[in-house]
Amino acid sequence: MEKFTTHTGIGVPLRQSNVDTDQIIPAVYLKRITRTGFEDALFAAWRKDPAFILNQAPFNAGSVLVAGPDFGTGSSREHAVWALKDYGFKTVLSSRFADIFRGNSGKQGLLAAEVAQDDIELIWKELENAPGTEVTVDLVSKTVQCGNIVAPFEIDDYTRWRLLEGLDDIGLTLQHEEDITAYEATRPSFKPKTLPARLS
Amino acid sequence: MAKTLAEKVWDAHVVRKGDGEGANAQPDLLFIDLHLVHEVTSPQAFEGLRLAGRKLRRPDLTIATEDHNTPTLDIDKPIADLTSRTQIQTLRNNCQEFGVRLHSLGDAEQGIVHVVGPQLGLTQPGMTVVCGDSHTSTHGAFGALAMGIGTSEVEHVMATQTLSLKPFKTMAINVEGTLRPGVSAKDIILAVIAKIGTGGGQGYVLEYRGSAIRALSMEARMTICNMSIEAGARAGLVAPDQTTYDYMYGRPHAPEGDEWDAAVEYWNTLSTDDGAAFDVEVDLDTDTLEPFVTWGTNPGQGVSLSAKVPSPDDFGDENAKAAAERALQYMGLEAGTPMKDIRVDTVFLGSCTNSRMEDLRAAADIVRGRTKDPAVRMLVVPGSARVRLEAEAEGLDKVFKDFGAEWRFAGCSMCLGMNPDQLEEGERCASTSNRNFEGRQGKGGRTHLVSPVVAAATAVRGTLSSPSDLDPVPESAAVRVDAA
């Protein structure tokens, strides 16, 4: 995974709560078997509307999405994170993220920064008053800056550390393979196995 | 120390305690007892293993089926949609290469992954269950800690049979009382979500408790746990009891003989200790609960079926008000319209929420001997090929077909429209599924989430209806279900 320390880019105000993963990427795009190439799928239904924010310059060149509360609710599809990244977003700010979306972001190097809704409102106003304003998201100091607004954000320590170091999760876990093997030896024999298959 | 059920299951699976405090404090590493796999969220994970030269650690704790993309008609022919066909073929190739058991289209055990696991007896109390699908919370009905994961985590579980998990908080959902006629598990969970909101459960594991939950069957408990994610919770569970054991006994992968006795002895320890504290408790009284229905575009936007479409002005919070305005516009609804005046085009009975035998039986009891509103299309999609076979053995297929509904093959179908079963632009649907998001059932489609009996009654009248609106009132809707 690529390291993330700080990012500065055009902020995109998305004044909407409950942006669910079906909006971020509709199910029809999930048939692909690749991990990349989802930029056309991002907000596919909404982008058909010329008034949608990503259809307006300079927001179409944005890389910091500033969304309403409960971003990423619904499905577990990591495709939502891939689509945001493929479009060019490096970070999403919201006062509340759905748990699975937040987890998926952390695995893929997309920074999901939890910013208080009051600060989100201030940033929205700033971005709407001066379109093209850049937002800086600093993972080291856990702050976000937009014009004169400087606000703290929350992220769990472990995800922050992995993002800062760009570490691969599976590699980290496999360092503890002996612990896994030891645990496996203690599992009760009544726990089910899928193999050999037993059928009705 | 007194523990909640969720904490007990968690503690029993810790492979490695987290490193405690500090900037790089690692969370607990938990062992995963069962990994369910389907075609949509797995191809990139298998590819990741391949690229890294890693093995799938425990094929014997992994099982795959085809559900999201599969057609519900003409399953004997090659899948017409080429991308869907490729994705399914990719799963087949991957399962063969990595030694994973797969139930393919046409197999009696094929079906929605969350119907298949319990049906085979693979879902058991006290287990950790994961799947690249947010409705994995379904398996919590057995007292398992079950959660949806993304594709990176799917790959992680494939490679290590473990997951690093952030600690969660606990929320008790105390559901007390009896259910009125025509009210079911779906109404309970829709009411819970309307109460705590789509974000209310974020960071929590929910435990459903109380007399109303104890009185529910396993399939009804699955309906409730299934939609925990719609309240923002990654997992929701119910403590196992005799109802759980009776459901499991004799299933293909249930323990047998002495193993069964040992298992039951362990399962009996799986309840929240007296004196254990939940971080939050929420109460729901079912004595006054009515059939519930959503009016908007997130599952928290629901009301009693006898109520009216709310006005954005009913919401104090600015974000909720804006969301309501947008939802009404998308749904093509006027504030103040009685919910029961809303006409639908389609009725969908299916999905991992409501496609099991009890759901089909309850709906069949409503429509038996009646005729469908001619303007309404009704799809009945059993959750698995096994459910379909059992339903046919009981003659339910004939009941639905005589009524005028379409009897389809098993899969996720119109819940998310990845196969050809989709709504047309502007079409309105009463659906027993779990999400009413914009475009969820097809671009421009409008979804009202309902229970199986409300779906059935709606298909009779053509407008959102409760069984008690029918003439004559069906017997099954006239008897009060006693929770005692």
DSSP code at position B24: T
| CA angle at B45 for the pair B28 and A158, rounded to the nearest 5° | 30
Distance of CA B397 to the CA centre of its chain: 22
CA B186 to chain A, closest CA, distance in angstroms equals 18
pLDDT of residue B178: 96
Amino acid at B76: D
**A101 CA: distance to closest CA in chain B (Å):** 8
Condensed to tens digits (0 to 9), the pLDDT of residues B29-61 reads 999 999 999 999 999 999 999 999 999 999 999
Confidence category of residue B23, pLDDT binned at 50, 70, 90: low
Partners of residue B90 in chain A, C-beta under 8 Å: 33
Q: What does each C-alpha distance from B384 to B61, B355, B387, B404 come to in angstroms?
A: 21, 8, 5, 22
pLDDT band for position B355 (cuts 50, 70, 90): very high
pLDDT for A199: 85
Cα of B474 to nearest chain A Cα, Å: 34
The amino acid at residue B259 is E
Measured between CA atoms, the residue of chain B closest to residue A95 is B199
Average pLDDT over residues A36-52: 96
Residue B5, min C-alpha distance to chain A (Å): 18
pTM of the predicted model as reported, rounded to 2 decimal places: 0.96
Least CA distance to A200: which residue of chain B?
B252
DSSP chain A: ----SEEEEEEEEE--S--BHHHHS-GGGGG---SS--GGGTTTTGGGSTTSGGGSTTGGG--EEEE-SSBTBS---THHHHHHHHHT--EEEES-B-HHHHHHHHHHT-EEEE--HHHHHHHHHHHHHSTT-EEEEETTTTEEEETTEEEE-B--HHHHHHHHHT--HHHHHHTTHHHHHHHHHHS-TTS--SSS----
Contacts of residue A78 in chain B, CB cutoff 8 Å?
Answer: 41, 44, 150-152
Q: What is the structure's pLDDT at B21?
A: 65
Can you tell me the distance from the alpha carbon of B262 to that of B325, in angstroms, rounded to the nearest whole number? 56
The mean of the pLDDT values for chain A is 96
Q: Verify whether the Cβ–Cβ distance A195 to B101 is below 8 Å.
A: yes
Other beta carbons within 10 Å of B257? 7
Check CB contact of B257 with chain A, cutoff 8 Å: no
Share of chain B above pLDDT 90, in %: 93
Intra-chain end-to-end CA distance of chain A, in Å: 44
Q: What is the pLDDT of residue B479?
A: 53
The model's pLDDT over B414-439, given as tens digits with 9 standing for 90+, comes to 999 999 999 999 999 999 999 999 99
Q: How far apart are CA B290 and CA B287, in angstroms?
A: 9
Chain A residues 144-173 with a CB less than 8 Å from chain B: 156-158, 160-161, 169-170, 172-173
Q: What is the mean pLDDT of residues B377-388?
A: 98
> B302-304 and B128-131: which strand pairing?
unpaired
In this structure, are residues B147 and B234 in contact, taking their beta carbons and an 8 Å threshold?
Answer: yes
**Which two structure tokens, joined as six digits, stand for B198?**
């789509």
User: Choosing among B437, B440, B449, which should be mutated to test the A contact, i.e. which has the most A CBs within 10 A?
Assistant: B437
Q: What is the mean pLDDT of residues B344-352?
A: 98
Residues in chain B with CB shorter than 8 Å from the CB of A74 are 134, 229, 435, 437
CB atoms closer than 10 angstroms to residue B385: 23
Amino acid B22: pLDDT: 65
Q: Which residues on adjacent β-strands are paired with residue B303? A: B293
Burial of B344-378, coded b for 16+ CB within 10 Å and e otherwise, reads bbbbbbbbbbbbbbbbbbbbbbbbbebebbeebbb
> Of B17-26, B31-40, B49-58, B259-268, which gets the smallest average pLDDT?
B17-26
pLDDT recorded at residue B475: 82
Of residues B475 and B276, more confidence is placed in B276
Phi-psi region of B160 (alpha: psi -120 to 50; beta: other; left: phi over 0): alpha
Q: Nearest CA to B284 among B403, B410, B420, B176?
A: B176
Cβ-based contacts of B20 with chain A (< 8 Å): none
Residues 37-96 on A with a CB inside 8 Å of B are: 45, 68-70, 73-79, 81, 96
Q: What's the rounded Cα separation, in Å, for the pair A66 and B123?
A: 40
- Using CA atoms, how far apart are residues B375 and B459, in angstroms rounded to an integer? 9
Query: Helices in B72-176 by DSSP H: which ranges?
Result: 82-98, 113-119, 151-160
Report chain B's mean pLDDT, rounded to a whole number: 96
Res B140 pLDDT > 70: yes
| Residue among A158, A172, A200 whose CB faces B25 most closely | A158
Please, are residues B386 and B120 in contact by the beta-carbon 8 Å criterion?
Answer: no
Cβ-nearest to B33 among A45, A77, A191: A191
Question: CA-CA distance, B26 to B15, in Å (whole number)?
Answer: 13
Written as one string, the DSSP assignment of A148-196 is TEEEE-B--HHHHHHHHHT--HHHHHHTTHHHHHHHHHHS-TTS--SSS
Structure tokens at B52: 């890294």
- Residue B413 contacts residue B111 (beta carbons within 8 Å): no
Q: Give the C-alpha separation, B423 to B446, whole Å.
A: 8
Partner-chain contact B149 A75, CB within 8 Å: no
Mean pLDDT of B48-76: 97
Using 50, 70 and 90 to split pLDDT, how confident is the model at B484? Answer: very low
Q: Per DSSP, what are the bridge partners of residue B347?
A: B378, B430
Contact with chain B for residue A125, Cβ under 8 A: no
Is the pLDDT at A106 greater than 60? The verdict is yes
pLDDT digits (tens, 9 = 90+) for B287-323: 999 999 999 999 999 999 999 999 999 998 888 999 9
B264: enclosing H helix or E strand: helix B257-267
Give residue-wise pLDDT tens across range B226-238: 999 999 999 999 9
pLDDT at B481 over 60: no
Kindly state whether A18 is in contact with chain B, defined as any CB-CB distance less than 8 angstroms: yes
Listing DSSP states for B351-392 in one string gives TTTS-SHHHHHHHHHHHTT----TT-EEEE--SBHHHHHHHH
CB contact under 8 A, B418 and A31: yes
Beta carbons of B26 and A96 less than 8 Å apart: no
What would the pLDDT profile of A122-166 be if each residue is shown by its tens digit? 999 999 999 999 999 999 999 999 999 999 999 999 999 999 999
B429: which 2 tokens? 């649907």
